Structure 1
């Protein structure tokens, strides 16, 4: 992996500039890098490929969880505004997402126009390099179509003055068909695996897995099923035995060859590429940035496989009782009393052990991590990285095998072909890993539980903080979930009531952190084309009702 760790941005100042056609400039300066003297050998090609990898989302994969209803940021941010429905087409993040994607697409297009110039004895390696770059391009177009719908579909490197810069948007369905075809074709040129030193490069499984995600988003269930099954049939991937540990640096697949679940991740390394996620989750002197919502907490089934409103095991007599007899992934994801933590002082003045969490803190005295909802995350939090800003070297997972299993099960369900055997080789493997009651079709029917809703619930609790919840809400057409108030714990369980005297609660006594959310069914399933892009290109039409 050393090739990717150090040179994501090395090319940014020297490559992908338009060449000049003036005759007096035909002789390239010997001390400059250009198209004429760069695309010559395998080493240069590898450098260019690695530059494209920088456009795969790193921590921003997790940040996009703030668009959904699993977590809430304590202060107003662009993602929180989008989630609430209270934003316009001039919001900066809309333009940033658009610009970053097209910068990456231009880099990929430029590579694909030039890589054949390199003299290499290994043509298969050259084809693999091209496949890696084609994947990055398809990945970027996936997000563009997820978010904006129709977008300009550009497959060549554009320069200033090119008329295509001012072209209209292309039909999303046509672009999606192209994405799926690309992923099918490029997968043939990719290996199933790499040596551990090169972990993080695109594999056949990652390409097919991404194909299953895209196909699922667009309701192409047969395609999604087939792509997921191809990954399963590779025989290369397996679930990591410890769900909690999977999201710590100890299990990083770039360092731990025993991790066969992570299919694609952004690699992070000490003093080279680090982030701040762990500290944001339990920041020890401010408000925690990631606050689980009541909606998420309530989504976890009880240990008997029943929802909280239908299980005799559910106990809401105290804050600690909420965590007992629940799906074990709840405690592996949401911090429970008695767990180690890095947030220093908690909300229990009698607790003298700052390394152990006992109660949520609402007192803004800069002596401990403050929650907005009464809950904290433990998933993706390396306690050693909490005390110091931006020193988290935990890899960020982009895709893992558990998602492929979930994709397969959902695709089968939506085609009306899901069987108990399918559940046993997909969802029940996820439950078996954590010791959770298995999903049984006959049992669900007897209990009056809807199979589709339970498969969607399974996806939610398995993939929390992995940046997929918002996109699932969009494709399920459940925008109404984003229009609801954001709530937290029961106010009566807070030990220092003086800290929450002004905090509103609903009629049942639950904290109401955020109100005024809205979701217009004829508007908010697509982001608007950014105002700045329409100013630059008047030929870009706007999405409905924006």
Structure 2
């Protein structure tokens, strides 16, 4: 899919919605320009640099919609009035004309065309120095790899276009390359980008993609390629490559875990060894970069809408502070006080009955302040993660949230390494250290020292679900790459009904809050039928469609 570019003008979009890593001064916080003549653009190095800013808006943000991507999985259930927006995800009832992310193919190739056009012009622009040319093209190359990963991770096989095909040549019908070939191309692109990108930027340019960020993103992609969905023969060399990529990031020491679990989401402008690697950035300014997550997800009694309700399945995954699951002997779990003594990531991620929030306890019991008769949380829980508790969204309806959407952070790199290394060689000391480093931050005990490879695999998958809860599309894509989605997402999701007695005590009863359907064909999206009509070389369609 290629879109024409005007011979006379090129839009410079200062949407500036994101940056990579934390920074002191957002390089995108500059007054917008509408249209610049193409001749002026390619004769001014500063304008060429600024034209790169549009590519940062190609990154994903879960704050663009009222629901967040975790609602596709078994971790969240959206309220009834919002459920229709993701119904095809929940029912698995995809068709080649109506399916989740149905515009992703068209939009991605439009973005790829813009990036290709920029790269072609930048490589030839005489006004650029060799240093500028190398850096600008490397940034564009990173985003080309990022967009292509969205294509190949959703559609499996797809064309790779390396030139901005002019509109008059649109009769060319590119053929698909295999998923394996596509991923190899993306890795090659990231290697080239990492080689030419700087490790850091001056303060007024911090936020642009760096060499360590490209290496870190490669870690995610190699883990995807090594996983059961794509590595059907369990080729151990694929796991070794994934482990090596994550280890390179760890050894590079460009990133580190921040002191508090909430720091990556609520603290901006951390310049020294930040945990955040990739993020979609917001400044909270009216008409610019802001979102409504806080109001959309706070409980009803606080003036919120409570769109995304954490499920009981996720709540059950949080260990007790002694490291035992609630069902294990000696855990200390009290069914009459089910939320006490849990992993602190629980109270930092989920709002539950009696949780302190904005000056009073949350009331999710029947007829409580936060369980209205209409549009109450379907699960009895509300999302807390990402919410800045001191932000008053009721004070001014024109002021909305400015927290950044985290795409990739260092904790994931540690988890990537632990998973890949465990699959490659088993639970050696480095696997334990990676997981235990994450657990130590939240004062959770270290893992038992005698785990088998299979037991460690289960622990790592558990830790990913807890540590990365609600972030990016991690849970949904983890279930896909593990080939576990057809099991985990083919059943109901549950919540809790809480009743308050006259003496102030509570009773808790399980309830069904929603349903999921996922079959084997849902592991890959169908290629849009309209695209098959335009380009028959995109056949065959993905299996089941």
TM-score (norm 2): 0.83
CA contact (8 A) 2:45 2:128 kept: no
| Corresponding residue for residue 315 of structure 1 | 333
Distance apart, 1:160 and its partner CA: 2.5
| Corresponding residue for residue 478 of structure 2 | 472
Distance apart, 1:122 and its partner CA: 3.9
* Secondary structure at the counterpart of residue 338 of structure 2: helix
Residues 90 and 441 (structure 1 numbering): CA distance in 2 closer, same or farther, change over 3 Å?
Answer: farther
Deviates more, 1:161-170 or 1:460-469: 161-170
Tell me, in whole angstroms, the C-alpha distance in 2 between the residues paired with 1:2 and 1:347.
39
CA contact (8 A) 1:363 1:370 kept: yes
Equivalent residue runs for 1:343-354 within 5 Å: 346-347=363-364
Which residue among 457, 461, 464 is the counterpart of 2:462?
457
| Corresponding residue for residue 172 of structure 1 | 179
CA contact (8 A) 1:267 1:395 kept: yes
| Corresponding residue for residue 265 of structure 1 | 279
2:97 is the alignment partner of 1:73:
no
2:320 is the alignment partner of 1:302:
yes
CA contact (8 A) 1:196 1:257 kept: no
Which residue among 127, 137, 148 is the counterpart of 1:141?
148
Distance apart, 1:41 and its partner CA: 2.8
Distance apart, 1:121 and its partner CA: 6.2
| Corresponding residue for residue 512 of structure 1 | 512
Distance apart, 1:195 and its partner CA: 3.1
Which residue among 380, 398, 411 is the counterpart of 1:374?
380
Residues 412 and 449 (structure 1 numbering): CA distance in 2 closer, same or farther, change over 3 Å?
Answer: closer
Distance apart, 1:170 and its partner CA: 2.2
2:318 is the alignment partner of 1:289:
no
Residues 165 and 303 (structure 1 numbering): CA distance in 2 closer, same or farther, change over 3 Å?
Answer: farther
Equivalent residue runs for 1:248-259 within 5 Å: 248=266, 251-252=267-268, 255-258=269-272
2:239 is the alignment partner of 1:221:
yes
Residues 128 and 511 (structure 1 numbering): CA distance in 2 closer, same or farther, change over 3 Å?
Answer: same
Which residue among 310, 324, 335 is the counterpart of 2:340?
324
CA contact (8 A) 1:78 1:93 kept: no
Tell me, in whole angstroms, the C-alpha distance in 1 between the residues paired with 2:173 and 2:101.
19
Tell me, in whole angstroms, the C-alpha distance in 1 between the residues paired with 2:482 and 2:211.
28
Q: Deviations over 1:463-496 (max 9, x none)?
A: 111121111011000011011101112x2x2349
Tell me, in whole angstroms, the C-alpha distance in 2 between the residues paired with 1:157 and 1:175.
18
Gaps of 5+ in 1: 15-31, 351-358, 498-507
Distance apart, 1:301 and its partner CA: 1.7
| Corresponding residue for residue 429 of structure 1 | 437
2:114 is the alignment partner of 1:111:
no
Tell me, in whole angstroms, the C-alpha distance in 2 between the residues paired with 1:281 and 1:137.
33
Tell me, in whole angstroms, the C-alpha distance in 2 between the residues paired with 1:165 and 1:266.
35
Give the length in aligned residue pairs. 490
| Corresponding residue for residue 356 of structure 1 | none
Q: Give RMSD over aligned pairs.
A: 2.8
Tell me, in whole angstroms, the C-alpha distance in 1 between the residues paired with 2:130 and 2:100.
41
TM-score (norm 1): 0.83
Tell me, in whole angstroms, the C-alpha distance in 1 between the residues paired with 2:120 and 2:70.
35
